[in-house]
Structure 1
Amino acid sequence: MFRRTLKAFRSQPQGVIGLALLLIWFILALSAGQLVPYDPLEQGLPPVREGDSPVRQAPSSLYWFGTDELGRDVLSRVLAGAHISLALGFISVSIGLVAGSTLGLVAGFYGGWVDGIVMRTMDALLAFPGILLALVVIAALGTSIQNVMIAVGIAIVPQYARLVRSLCLTIRELAYVEAAHVVGSGPVRLILRHFLPNIVPPLIVLSTLQIGQAIIYGSALSFLGMGAQPPTPEWGLIAAKGRDFFRKAWWISTFPSLAILSVVLAFNLLGDGLRSLLDPRMRMMRAADQ
């Protein structure tokens, strides 16, 4: 079974490329402490040529990504910020996954007035764009990277709730589930034996895609000054600080922006690959081809 799954995944080039990119970023994030050439917080690094200003030095053999407006090494700050952005994505999605899936499961399993209350609440949250909802939460909780994780997690709860609820409504009507209910299977047994196994694959795909979205939200909030605060080496914050110098020092904003782009692209490619692998319709098409 594992070999067949692995073989099927390897036949999805976009998933393989996405996974390879993510592995590179995970290695960089975990090894950043040993890989960074300079302290990401150290200001006024020595200039390439004696007598030059240490700030806003262009990319060179000494500073591959140049230095920022305070003379800090941009490469070191981008590498140091990798674990912050990845942690933000995973923790935010974990919050949304647990809260949204629980609400969707309760609504879809029990139905009735419970379903009505939960889904009307989700509809109200969906009336706001995700980034706007996150901004409202940040305004209430205060600006910090921890509050960004909570805010982004809350912003993506409705997507999980709606997905799980729709899956539960479909599963609840299956003949073998109705038979299990008739013979006396309790709610816990029904959920564990029949609902969760059918819910998990779509949740894996959605979560993979949502991590990239969460990183975008987190970076956008930091860019707006509502997330990570100086001197934290967070990608969105680094890009924000460099926008005032973009014409003369394009590298300050460009390299952290490219880091965000590459990570989000990697998660999207992996999500597309997993969707092709885990979607029942795609599995049936592959089986027919074989």
Structure 2
Amino acid sequence: MTDTITRAVVEPAPPPTPVRRRRGRVRELHVLLALVVVLVVVAVFPGLVTWHDPYELDGLPFTAPNGDFPFGTDEIGRDLYSRVVHGLRVSLFSAVLAVVVALAGGAVIGVLSGLRPGGLLDRALGILTEAVMAIPGVLLALAVITTYGRGAFVAAVAIGIGEATGFARLIRGCVIQAGTLTYVEAARTCGAGPLRVVFRHVVPSIHHPVLSYTALHFGLAMLAIGSLSYLGFGEAPPSAEWGVLIAGGQKYLAHAWWVAVVPGLALTAVVVLFSRIAYLSQKDNR
């Protein structure tokens, strides 16, 4: 009896089974998706969780975080908590626009290329995609912004154009792979047209990897848009966009670290959130 108890204490517990690990990933994914819903609600209705105007002077400059100002105040006395919450709307919706532009452009190019791989259209679109990919994303975004002006909308479209090539390559590969499936070949044999094959058979079979890729690049789009605003090519002060907040607070790090660190941590947390969702959704569909 003593030997049995000793072995039970000393020997490590058996590793979790694949089924238990999968269930744990699914639960975690559901929790993270619930957090995304909360973020969207807060972005749409920021007044539900804030009690100060993000553009009004409600306190003394550089007030440290306290009960009235959970994140402190900035250099002119504005509530940093309200500015971060209201800035979520700009950052989140700009990333949505960037991903929509990238996904729409990438889907058109990827599907047209994947339906007839190796054909004239596929080769032409491949050359176009490679030409765009040869230009660094930041330079492409700066070129678009220089031409059409600064702002969150222009920055989001510029980021979306640069990211469309990645979506195009992914969707093209998925379409080619889906085209070899038995039921897709059977649909073609029965006389189904290209559009019917794509929307009825190909799209349902490729949406999992595309959604995982979209979640990953959603966070990266937020980071890129914040970076452009930080460099002065996106939103401009007094906007509460997170890149603008970080740029405005960096000069006060020595005596008011929260002005730049808090929006920086918020941006990091959201990017990590979407990266984790992409990872879990990809693992869950293997």
Same structural fold, with TM-score higher than 0.5 when normalized by the shorter chain? yes
Q: Which residue pairs with 2:56 in the alignment? A: 42
**Higher alpha-carbon Rg:** 2
In the alignment, residue 23 of structure 1 is paired with which amino acid?
V
- TM-superposed CA distance for 1:60, in Å, is 2.0
CA, structure 1 residues 236+9, in 2 after alignment: closer, same or farther (shift >3 Å)? farther
The answer to whether the Cα contact below 8 Å between 1:19 and 1:266 also exists between their aligned partners in 2 is no
Structure scoring higher RCO (CA < 8 A, sep ≥ 6) equals 1
**Residue aligned with 1:65, SS:** coil
The counterpart of 1:161, out of the listed 168, 187, 204, is 168
What is the alpha-carbon distance in structure 2 between the residues aligned to residue 244 and residue 40 of structure 1?
A: 20
Q: Which residue pairs with 1:19 in the alignment? A: 33
- TM-superposed CA distance for 1:57, in Å, is 1.9
Task: Write out per-residue CA displacement over residues 216-247 of structure 1, whole angstroms, 9 at most, x where no aligned residue.
Answer: 01100110110111111101100100011111
Percentage of pairs with the same residue: 33
Q: Which residue pairs with 1:185 in the alignment? A: 192
1:97 is aligned to 2:103: yes
TM-score, normalization: structure 1?
0.85
Q: Which residue pairs with 1:86 in the alignment? A: 92
Task: Extract structure 1 runs of 4+ deviating beyond 6 A.
Answer: none
| Ranges in structure 1 where 5+ consecutive residues have no aligned partner | 1-6, 47-53, 283-290
| Ranges in structure 2 where 5+ consecutive residues have no aligned partner | 1-20
Give the stretch that moved more between structures: 57-66 or 73-82: 57-66
Mapping of residues 139-178 of structure 1, within 5 Å: 139-178=146-185
What is the alpha-carbon distance in structure 2 between the residues aligned to residue 179 and residue 25 of structure 1?
A: 44
Task: Write out per-residue CA displacement over residues 147-167 of structure 1, whole angstroms, 9 at most, x where no aligned residue.
Answer: 112111111100110001111
What is the alpha-carbon distance in structure 2 between the residues aligned to residue 22 and residue 34 of structure 1?
A: 16
The answer to whether the Cα contact below 8 Å between 1:15 and 1:271 also exists between their aligned partners in 2 is no
Give the stretch that moved more between structures: 176-185 or 152-161: 176-185
Mapping of residues 233-252 of structure 1, within 5 Å: 233-252=240-259
The answer to whether the Cα contact below 8 Å between 2:71 and 2:80 also exists between their aligned partners in 1 is yes
1:108 is aligned to 2:131: no
The counterpart of 2:80, out of the listed 74, 84, 103, is 74
Aligned length: 265
Task: Write out per-residue CA displacement over residues 110-155 of structure 1, whole angstroms, 9 at most, x where no aligned residue.
Answer: 3311011111111111123333322222222210111112111111
- TM-superposed CA distance for 1:81, in Å, is 0.8
Q: Which residue pairs with 1:65 in the alignment? A: 71
CA, structure 1 residues 32+9, in 2 after alignment: closer, same or farther (shift >3 Å)? farther
TM-score, normalization: structure 2?
0.86
RMSD of aligned C-alpha atoms?
1.9
Task: Write out per-residue CA displacement over residues 6-38 of structure 1, whole angstroms, 9 at most, x where no aligned residue.
Answer: x96654354244324323323332331232221
**Residue aligned with 1:156, SS:** helix
- TM-superposed CA distance for 1:175, in Å, is 3.7
What is the alpha-carbon distance in structure 1 between the residues aligned to residue 38 and residue 181 of structure 2?
A: 43
The answer to whether the Cα contact below 8 Å between 1:30 and 1:83 also exists between their aligned partners in 2 is yes
The answer to whether the Cα contact below 8 Å between 1:239 and 1:254 also exists between their aligned partners in 2 is yes
Q: Which residue pairs with 2:46 in the alignment? A: 32
The answer to whether the Cα contact below 8 Å between 1:57 and 1:68 also exists between their aligned partners in 2 is yes
What is the alpha-carbon distance in structure 1 between the residues aligned to residue 31 and residue 182 of structure 2?
A: 40
